[in-house]
A = this chain, B = another copy of it.
Amino acid sequence: MLTETALADLRAVFGARLSTARAVLDAHAQSESLVSGPPPEAVVWPESTAEVAELARLSDRHGFALVGWGAGTSLEGHALALAGGVTVDFTRMDKVLSVHPEDMTAVVQPGITRERLNEELRATGLFFPVDPGANATLGGMAATRASGTAAVRYGTMRGNVLGLEVVLAGGEVIRTGTAAPKSSAGYDLTGLIVGSEGTLGLITELTLRLHGQPEAVSAAVCAFDSMAHAVDCVIATIQSGVPMARIEFLDAATVAAVNAYSRLDLPVAPQLLVEFHGSPDGVTEQAARFGDIATGFGATGFQWARAPEDRKKLWAARHAAYRAILASRPGSRAIVTDACVPISALAVAVEETAADIAASGLPGPILGHVGDGNFHAILMVREGDAEEAATAKALAHRMAERALRLGGTITGEHGIGFGKKGLMAAEHGATWAAMGRIKAALDPKGLMNPGKLVP
Contacts and interface: CB of A to CB of B under 8 A. Distances in A.
B156 A431 contact: no
A432 B174 CA distance: 9
A254 interface: no
Interface in A398-425: 403-404, 407-416, 420, 423-424
Contact of A212 (B180, B239, B277, B403): B239
B183 A188 contact: no
Contacts of A374: 180-182
Interface in A321-346: 340-344
A185 B289 contact: no
A184 interface: yes
Contact of A438 (B212, B285, B441): B441
A181 B403 CA distance: 12
A435 B184 contact: no
Contacts of A344: 100, 102-103
A178 interface: yes
Contact of A185 (B102, B191, B428): B428
A279 B283 CA distance: 12
A453 B183 CA distance: 14
A114 B174 CA distance: 36
A88 to B, nearest CB: 20
- Oligomeric state, in copies: 2
A76 to B, nearest CB: 9
Interface of A: 100-105, 125, 144-147, 151, 155-156, 158-159, 168, 172-176, 178-189, 191-192, 194-196, 200, 212, 214-215, 235, 238-243, 277-279, 281-282, 285, 289, 340-344, 372-374, 403-404, 407-416, 420, 423-424, 427-432, 434-435, 437-438, 440-442, 453-454
B409 A183 contact: yes
A173 B342 contact: no
B240 A212 contact: yes
Contact of A340 (B102, B172, B181, B242): B181
A213 B104 CA distance: 28
A441 B101 CA distance: 40
Contacts of A125: 239
A102 B344 CA distance: 6
Contact of A412 (B179, B184, B195, B428): B184
6 contacts: A102-B235, A147-B182, A185-B416, A212-B239, A243-B243, A282-B285
Nearest to A181: B372
Of A104, A179, A180, A438, most buried by chain B (CB within 10 Å of CB) is: A180
A378 to B, nearest CB: 18
A241 B442 CA distance: 40
Nearest to A339: B180
Contacts of A453: 186-187
Of A175, A182, A416, most buried by chain B (CB within 10 Å of CB) is: A182
A427 to B, nearest CB: 5
A437 B423 CA distance: 27
A343 B184 CA distance: 17
Given A102-B344, A187-B195, A242-B279, 5 more contacts: A172-B434, A178-B404, A188-B192, A212-B239, A215-B241
A442 B435 contact: no
